[in-house]
Amino acid sequence: MKKRTRQIQTKLRSRKGMSLIELIVGISIIVIVFAGTLSAMTNGYADTLYNADVNRYAVQGGSLNEVILEAIAKQKFKGADCPVDVKDSEQRREYAVSYFLLDSNGHSKDPNSDPTNAVHSAAKAVMPDVMYVTQDQFWGSGKVVINNTVVDNMYTLDFDAVRTIFKGAKRYDIKGVEVLTSVTTSRGTVINRAFVPYEDQDKSET
- Please state, in angstroms and as integers, the Cα–Cα distance from residue 206 to each residue in 91, 172, 174, following that order: 20, 6, 11
Give kind and range of the element (H or E) at residue 159. strand 154-167
Q: What is the pLDDT of residues 1-51, one digit of tens each?
A: 555 555 555 554 545 556 767 667 777 777 777 666 666 666 555 556 555
Q: What is the pLDDT of residues 99-127, one digit of tens each?
A: 888 877 778 888 898 888 889 999 999 89
* 3-state secondary structure at position 162: strand
Q: What is the pLDDT of residues 133-181, one digit of tens each?
A: 999 999 988 889 888 889 989 999 998 888 888 888 888 888 888 999 9
For residues 189 and 181, give the distance between their C-alpha atoms in angstroms, rounded to a whole number: 10
pLDDT at residue number 157: 92
Single pTM value for the model: 0.65
